[in-house]
Structure 1
Amino acid sequence: MTGQPITLRLRIQDPVPGVAYSLQDKKNHPVGPLVAGDGPLAFDVSVRVAPGPRFLGEFVRSEGPSRRFVYIAIGTSAGQHGSTWTRRAKIDIHTIPADLLARALEGAVLEVLLPGRAKDGGPACATVVPLEAWRVAG
């Protein structure tokens, strides 16, 4: 297996209550769905980092030569049949600063804080801009 494993924590600040969220693997299957309540949700994603850096793993997607990201599936995409929502949020990981990546390679968990809602009041989707930059989880 190529690359050293690190853990990325995707924290959703204000998810829509009653809606399912999950990680989405490369085959577009939901993994580890959670139904949102009144508080934040978090997903820990195992990613491998190879020299370059190159991001690898069952949840890492690519677009072009350098963009790497992870999807969070929402509503029916997360396996919640009957949901009024069918969305997914794209979280960029190729933008993680080198100094933080070095900390992750030493065993630190890196965390990003994401918005839970879009302007329409539904779940945030498409490319999601973090509310706070990547940091070492406290």
Structure 2
Amino acid sequence: MELSLHIILEKPTAGVAFGLQKGSGNKYETVQIQQTDSGNLDFYLTVTTKGDRLKDALPRFGGPFIQGPYMGNFIYLDIGTLAGQVSPWNRRLKIPMAGITWEIIDQLSADVALMLKTNVAGTAKDGSPNCATVKPFNGWRVVSK
């Protein structure tokens, strides 16, 4: 099954490029590159679910945007130079796929007008671009497309 996701990067550091990492290792590209002087950035993507609900406690995720091992899957947002910008910032923001259960997958598969959405902080306490694993992570919620 394909899942539609919407990531809202809240108030990212002004003038810094952010983009979704598609692929992994040395074979990746950064897509949907954006920057703002104020306001939020929106990223839209699709991932697949796989796995066997009789064997797997939680769904497995796949597709070019998914990083990491089962039970630890995440999505990267590339920042600054990693997003193709000449910048003093060379970072990634890790957005966990945590909290997505088989029950949520069932809800989404029953209604194609639904998607998963999360909001994450774009700026760290010191004013620099937020990086590393999102903390605190408020999770994913089911919303209408």
What is the TM-score normalised by the length of structure 2? 0.82
Which among 2, 6, 10 is matched to residue 5 of structure 1?
2
Task: Kindly indicate whether the alpha-carbon contact (under 8 Å) linking 1:115 and 1:130 is maintained by their aligned counterparts in 2.
Answer: no
Is residue 2:124 matched to residue 1:127?
no
- Quote the sequence identity (%): 36
Contact map agreement 1:69 1:93 (CA 8 A) in 2: yes
Structure 2 match to 1:17: 14
Q: Which has the larger radius of gyration?
A: 2
Q: Deviations over 1:39-88 (max 9, x none)?
A: 1111011100113411010010113x4210110001111111x2121111
**Deviation of residue 38 (structure 1)?**
0.8
User: Which residue identity is paired with 1:87?
Assistant: R
Unaligned residue ranges in structure 2 (runs of 5+):
53-58
SS of the counterpart of 2:28?
Answer: coil
Q: 1:87 aligns with which of 65, 84, 91?
A: 91
49 and 17 in structure 1: CA distance in 2 versus 1, 3 angstrom threshold: same
Aligned to 1:102, the other structure's residue is in SS state: helix
Residue deviations 1:82-135 (CA, integer Å, cap 9, x gap): 212111100111432443332333321110110111132111110012563311
How far 1:37 moved relative to its partner? 2.8
CA distance in 1, matches of 2:74, 2:139: 15
Distance 1:100 1:19 in 2: 34
d(CA) in 2 for partners of 1:97 and 1:15? 29
The change in CA–CA distance for 1:6 and 1:58 in structure 2 (over 3 A counts) is: same
**Which residue of the partner structure matches residue 143 of structure 2?**
137
Q: 1:73 aligns with which of 39, 53, 78?
A: 78
Is the counterpart of residue 49 in structure 1 residue 49 in structure 2?
yes
Q: Residue 8 of structure 2 contacts residue 119 of structure 2 at CA under 8 Å; is this kept in 1?
A: yes
Residues 102 and 129 (structure 1), Cα distance of their counterparts in 2 relative to 1, 3 Å cut: farther
How many equivalent residue pairs?
A: 133
